[in-house]
Structure 1
Amino acid sequence: MENKVMERSLTTYTVSQLNKRARQLLEAQFPLIWVEGEISNLSKPGSGHWYFTLKDEVAQISCAMFRSQNSKSRFMPDNGAKILARCRVSIYEGRGDFQLIIEHIEKAGFGALQRQFDELKERLLQQGMFDAKHKLALPAYPKRIGLITSPTGAAVQDILSVLKRRYPATRVTIYPSIVQGSNSQGNSAAYELANRITCANTDKTCDVLILSRGGGSLEDLWAFNEEKLAQTIYDSSIPIISAVGHETDSTIADFVADCRAETPSAAAVIVSPDANALILDFERKEENLKEIIFRHLQAKGQRVDGLYRRIRNPVDFLLYVKSQLTNLKLRLQQSTAVKFRNYSIVLRNLDEKVTRSHPSNQLFSLWGKTELLEQQLKKGILTLLAQKQQEWGNTARLLHTISPLNTLQRGYAIVLNKQEKVLQHIANIGIGDQVSTRLIDGMLLSTIDEIIPEKNNDA
C-alpha cells in the first residue's frame, strides 16, 4: 500500500514532455564540444542537410549538420573519413534519438593538432609568456650544462661532440627522458620532460639547460607543444635553450625558452665559448699583463731612486724645522701685537660713537631744536594774524563803499516791485501796480497812478 502511495506522488511526464526535458538537461549540461570519430551512413537529402553516424571502435552516435552550417564548410565529408567536429549534444524530441548537432567539421589528425598548437600559442602569448622581459641571460662561461633529452637519440651525441671540441672544460649532466609517446609507467613525454626540468632546478648544479631532440613530424614533436611543459620552462630559474627538431620546425617550447637554437648542434655552439679562441685570448692578455707589470716595476724603481736621492740627514732636518718654528713664533708675536693695536683703535672709535649717541646728548639737541621751532611758530602766527587783520579792514571798507545803504545815506531811494526786484525802467511797471520804496530808515508802500516818461529818450 505504501509503495502505491509513493508511486502516485512521483511526477508523471508525457513522452513529449520527457524528451523535451531530457533535451534541455543535455544541452544545459554540455557546452559546445569537440568530438572525433569516423563517418558512416552519410546522407545528403534534397533539403541540403547532412545526416551521418560518427563512430569509433566501440560506440557510435547520430549526427546532423544543417544546411546553414555545412554551406560554410571547406571540407566535404565522405564515408570512412575521420573528422573532428565542433558540436552541441541534443535529443531529437520526435523520436527521442540522442544526437549531435554539428556546427563545424575538419579533417582529424594534422589539422586538429595545428589548431591546438595555434590556440595554445595565442593563449600563452596573451599571458605574456613569450615576452623578452622574462627571458634569462645565458652564462658566458658555464661550469656545468644540463642536457634534457633522450639518452639514445642522435641529438645527445651531436651536443656532446660539439661541447668536447669547443669547450672541454665544462661538465655535462644528462637528465634522460623520453621525447615522444609515453613511458612504461604511462607518463607522457611532456610530463617526463617537465619533471627533468624541475629536478635540474632542485639540484641547482647547472648554469644552463638544453632541451633537445631530433627532427620529426608535428605528431612526433607534440610533447614540446604541451602547456604543462611550457609552464615549467617559464617557471625555471635556470636559463633554458630549446633545440627541438630542424631549422624549419617550430614548437611552443621554442617561444617560451630563454633562447631558441635551430638544431641541437647549434645549441651546443651557443652555450659554449670556443676553447681555441679563449686560449689565444688568454695568451694575448698574458703578454699584455707582463708588459704592464714590467712598465709598472720600471716606474716604481725610478720613483724609489728619486726618493733615495731626496733623503736628508735627520739632524739637518731638525735644524731646518727649528728655524722654521723660530720664524713662525716671531711672526705670531708680531701679528698678535698688530691685531691688538688695531682692535684698540676700533674699540676707542666705538666708545666715542657710543658717547655721541648717548640719550642725554640726543635729548639736549632735540630740546634746543624744539625751542627754536616754538619761537618760529609764534612769530609766524603773529605775522599771519596782522596780515589777516589788514585784509579784513580793506575788505570792510570796500564793502561799505559799494553798499546800497551807503547810497541811501546820500539821499537816494530804492524802488522795488511786488516781487521785490529793483525797478530801473518804467517799462517794468504799470498803472495801479503797487511798489515799495526803501529809505534809510524804513519802507514806503505806494500805488502807481501815473507814469511820466523821460522826455529825452535818447538819454
Structure 2
Amino acid sequence: MPGPFEEYDEDAGLVAKDAAGDNAAALSVSEISAALKRVVEDRFGFVRIRGELSGVKRAASGHLYLSLKDENARIDGVMWRGNAQRLGFQPEDGVEVIVTGKLTTYPGRSNYQVVIDRMEIAGEGALLALLAKTKARLEAEGLFDPARKRRLPFLPRVIGVVTSPTGAVIRDILHRLADRFPVHVLVWPVLVQGQGAAEQVAAAVRGFGALPSDGPTPRPDLVIVARGGGSIEDLWCFNEEVVVRAVADCPIPIISAVGHETDTTLIDFASDLRAPTPTAAAEIAVPVREDLAQQLAELALRKRRAVNRPLQLGRERLQARAERLPRPQALFSPHAQRLDQAAERLRRGLVDRTHLARGNYERVGGRLSLPLLSARLDRAQERLAGLARLHASLNPDAVLQRGYVRVTGAGGATLTSLAAAANEASLLLHFRDGELKVVPGDTPPAPSRARSAPKATPPEQGKLL
C-alpha cells in the first residue's frame, strides 16, 4: 500500500481497462504457450545437440525419455518408440551422444524439450567409454567368469555357424573344415552390422541352443559366431548386451571369431573360446583327419608291439634256458640203465618163481588122490546139513504153526516179559497166517509171589557132526 504522502496513479485501478490507442490485447496462457511453441519449432525445427545422457528411462510404451546435459545446462528429450527401436546401441547414463531432432515446448509444464529422431555416440572415445562401462557391468554379474567356460568337443558331428550367408567368412570356414575334417555344418544367416544385427545374432544363438537333440534338424555340438574385420562401429553389434547374454546363456559351447586378431568384442569374454579369425575358429573346431589316421596307425603299431613283446621276451628267455639244460640222452641214460637191470632181474625172478611153483605143485600133487577128496567133500556136506537143522530148530516163528504167538515191540524186538510189553506204546502179534497190531491196556498186575514151576530142561541135543 502507498504511504501517507504517496500519490495514487490515476490509471491504476482494481479492474483492468484498455488504454486508448493500445493494440496489445491480453493473451491467454494457452495462446502464449501455443505462440511460443510455434516460434520455437519454426526457429529450431532441425537441431543437432551434443551432450551427456542422464536419467535414461524406457517406458512401457517403448518411448525413451532422457536428459542431455553439459557442465552448465540441461535439456529434456524424448525419442518415440519407432525411432527408439532402431537405435544401434543401448543408451545408458553417462554416455556422450549427438542427437538430431527438433525443439518443442510442453505447455503442461511450461518447459521445452528436444524430440529426438536420431542418436549417435559422440565419437570413438565416447564409444570406447560406453564399451568399458558395459563390460564392467556385465563382468560384475559374472558373465565373463572363467569358471563358466566349457571344454570344446574333440570332434563335433554338427557345427552351427552364425554369420552372414553372403560374405567371405562362411566360405573360408566351410573350406577350412572340408580340408581338415568334413562335418555337417548348419548356417544361421544373420546381419553382422547395422540396424537389427544384434537382435538377429542373439536370436540365432538362442535358436541353436533351443534345438532338441532328437528333432528333425540336428542340434549342433559346437557353435561359431563369426564376422570379418572392421572398425569398432562395424563390430558394435557384438558388444550389445542382448548378444552377450545370449552367448553366455547358450547351452552349446561357442567359439567367437569376430574381426581380426587385434579386434576385441564383448562376446569374446562371454564365449567359451576366442579365435583370432574365422579361419582359425574352423581350425580350432576340428582336428586334421590325416593326423588322426596317422595317430591311430601309430597306436595300432604300438599295440601290436606291446602284445608281441612279451612273447618275444619269453621266447628269448626259453631259448637261453634251453641252452643251459643238459642233453636228454645224458638225463635219461642212468634211468634207462637201471630200467634194463630191473627188467633183467624181473625176468629171472619170474623164471625162478615159476620153477619153484612147479616143484611145489609136483610135491603136493603127488600126495592128492580122488578117494581122499571125496571123503573131505562128504564131511563138509554133513556139517552143512547139521547147521541147516539147527537153524530150523532155533527159528522163533517155527512154533507159530502149532498155535503159538510171538510178540514184538515198535523196534521189532521180541518181547518175553509182561513188564517189557507194558512199556511199549503198541505191540505187534505175529500169528501163523498174519500179524495183528494191538495197544496195551491198563497197568498189568504185579507178578505173583507163588513159586513158578521149574523150567523144563530141554533135552540134550546131539552132535551134528
The normalised TM-score by structure 2 is 0.43
Of Structure 1 and Structure 2, the greater helix share is in 1
The normalised TM-score by structure 1 is 0.43
